[in-house]
Amino acid sequence: DQQVKQNSPSLSVQEGRISILNCDYTNSMFDYFLWYKKYPAEGPTFLISISSIKDKNEDGRFTVFLNKSAKHLSLHIVPSQPGDSAVYFCAASASGTSYGKLTFGQGTILTVHP
Amino acid sequence: GAVVSQHPSRVICKSGTSVKIECRSLDFQATTMFWYRQFPKQSLMLMATSNEGSKATYEQGVEKDKFLINHASLTLSTLTVTSAHPEDSSFYICSVAGNYGYTFGSGTRLTVV
């Protein structure tokens, strides 16, 4: 049972344009969501997170949107840069006030072309 | 955030031998650490939650006798893959959680030949 799904295995974007990565979840107990960037043979690097009490969080070029009714979140990267090319994972936690285990999506390979 | 050191970064072992992977929290006392496994082109799957001073909590389908976890101090958790077989070849990653969020180790590529 895949509780966190990233239905797009890959995304290709031109440099300077917007990258939109999508993630859906099924567990209504999830209350904390994160996006990670990962290169092969390396650990994930944290990008941005959002609590279920918010619907938007912004940090520089990265913005995460959360639609709880649709159980959907998205990561927007504007403007996209070639250095953003990597695998992006969304993750969710049903942790309440503590940091519990994360459930990851399958990942989306983002390629940003110069 | 926390600084997490994981090693070795890669290891090749013979089938039937055991391999130990270390995860150290260098600047944070971690009462809880997590161990994940990632097969090629797949997601990170949680194997177990490692609790300092107590037994680890394993996810369904993960053999606790095969993947031994020891979290004897607030800065060190170890994962030992016992009697490794080729199907255990994977990328293993630890994570530390705390008030700052989650920090991941750099991962260990295990190849069993």
Summarize pLDDT for B29-66 with one digit per residue, the tens: 888 899 999 988 889 999 999 988 888 999 999 999 99
* Cβ pair A46:B1 closer than 8 A: yes
Catalogue the long-range contacts made by A70-73 (C-beta closer than 8 Å, 24 or more residues apart): A70/A24, A71/A24, A71/A25, A71/A26, A71/A28, A72/A22, A72/A23, A72/A24, A72/A25, A73/A22, A73/A23, A73/A25, A73/A33
Among A34, A101, A107, the residue with its CB nearest the CB of B49 is: A101
By percentage, how much of chain B surpasses pLDDT 90?
Answer: 73
In this predicted structure, the answer to whether residue A104 has a pLDDT above a threshold of 60 is yes
**At A109, phi and psi to the nearest 5?**
-85, 115
In this predicted structure, the answer to whether residue A97 has a pLDDT above a threshold of 60 is no
Chain A nearest C-alpha distance from B76 (Å) = 17
In this predicted structure, the answer to whether residue B22 has a pLDDT above a threshold of 90 is yes
Position A55 scores a pLDDT of 96
For the segment A87-107, the average pLDDT, to the nearest whole number, is 87
For the segment B60-86, the average pLDDT, to the nearest whole number, is 94
Mean pLDDT for chain B overall:
92
Q: CA-CA distance, A45 to A41, in Å (whole number)?
A: 12
Residue of B81, B79, B98 lying closest to B35 (CA atoms): B79
Q: What is the pLDDT of residues A65-75, one digit of tens each?
A: 999 999 999 99
